[in-house]
Amino acid sequence: MSKNSAIDYWGYILVKFCGWFIRRLPLGLVVFLGRRVGDIMYCFDLKHRAIAYANIKCAFAKGMSLSQIRRTTREFYRNFGQNLIDIFLVPLVNEDYIKEHITIENNTFDYPSYSKRMLGSLDAIEVIGCHSKTNIIYVTHYPQEIPSCMTHLLQFEKAQTGKYRPRSRRL
């Protein structure tokens, strides 16, 4: 076994153990832990923190004070840390979890008749898209990552005025 594969193996074991451990914690503690992971990242990831700060400042320069921009940047990191920890909870999502925690409001179709077909399949996107005013946003940098279930593409193009304008087209 080479040195790199040994490191990868022990890293894999560590991540598996962390996942096992996190799935046994109460949800409130998992959320707290995730937010603290974000705080730690905020403190030590100076390069990306500066980039996030600059992006938020550029996007909201007129509407936010510098302290609000700092708070928003920190909150971004907290949410990011929470998302990282949430990845360990994905194995807990099953049909019962979906039935208990996911609801569709203001629908124009009979949900119970679709629920069995929707669970665990991409048909949910088609049903939601055809029978409600829900928009599903999938963010990617590379066109080859767009799932085949997506039917429209929204791009932002720079106009001659220097501002960006949306352009939509069918896939």
What is the full per-residue pLDDT of the chain (171 aa) written as tens digits?
A: 567 788 888 988 998 999 999 999 998 899 999 999 999 999 999 999 999 999 888 888 788 888 999 999 999 999 999 989 988 888 887 777 777 766 655 554 444 554 444 444 444 444 444 544 445 555 555 666 666 656 566 565 667 776 666 666 665
In a domain, 20, yes or no: yes
In a domain, 54, yes or no: yes
In a domain, 86, yes or no: yes
Count of domains for the chain: 1
Range of the domain at 42: 1-92
> pTM for this structure?
0.56
Q: Is the Cβ–Cβ distance between 34 and 86 less than 8 Å?
A: yes
